[in-house]
Structure 1
């Protein structure tokens, strides 16, 4: 069942007016070994507790290579489908929500084309919860970079804990960084996509990051359409695995 209670939420370190958010101000620090067994009577409470731990992640902050604002997750903790990206970018840091920039807008279109709603029917997170620093923090502007292996190693425990709580029926790993963080796979996305990988019994589909599709548009409409078709074929496999209805029209998108 994709549309389950409780209501979806953006997990955020500070309260926002008129939204249900996780607030990391009350809970005591607990050793990281408890990340796989977070306190709480509901999935939403457990996710909120994990957000509080990520906010005070000494291992992450101590690297000195990540910016200060923590961006945790968005979506429904009861969702059966989870998307995992690499790290927040400029817009994500500014809005404190994963996938809200141009790549996020494209991801939302993909989700809607699957017949699902964001955030009600899905859960979205990242391998790293802080935007990677590029040069001087005061003058970084909109420049983003992918997280380093050291940054991923410091932060990946949080998304793995989220997966343990949510127990989705399928995960989509967006890009090579997400595949490396979740599955310890290296190499090109083209070599990993198109089939399911296993993460503790949960099927994981690796596909291209939406930012890759945006870059492909610069190479002309033919290549852009071909790359979008590859991602859509991966999503059709995910839909089939979840038992979602697939119309003839959906089958033919980008064909």
Structure 2
């Protein structure tokens, strides 16, 4: 994949990009000393003490591997584009640390603290089909087209999660399937020349939208900035409509 084009616009810092990976439904691989176990889009949360929790099905093989003991592991999160691109991997996040299977009462207490700020209804499934696993990190590495970044655990914990991250997939798929005209208009109106071809929605965050152009010689990504940082989904939709030269009413 060709690196992001030379547009040098404001973008989320590496710690924020890493945090935002956890807020999206991405596949996960957990590697312990003797085994690698795959998880399909587990619910992930970061707690104030820096611990990362994963919600996994009650009978998942990972719980058998952990048992009742603390286990050293590296957890790889594959940040995957929500639209069917030729290369869907956008970035990789590795967190090395220790894994512990929590009993349901302890997990529910942790969930209540998360629910105060993040009303994720999947947390209500603890004890009803899901078990919480706590990951205590000591090494965090995030790699994308901007480079590979070794993050301190304290900066990783303090970083904000992109406010649009959890809705990103649904919104980008809607753009791709129902509003290719908006994507075309954004590309045509870009103040800088963009590659030829059909623009595809690769990603969106509070600072801008990234389009991908799939060509015979490889993929080229172009990051296009918003006029100002967005704080809500409505802000993002308004910015995208403005970039396309369209009035914003509702929806993407």
Task: Name the TM-score class by shorter chain.
Answer: under 0.3
TM-score, with length taken from structure 1: 0.25
Structure with bigger RCO (C-alpha 8 Å, 6+ apart): 2
Structure with the higher fraction of residues in helix conformation:
1
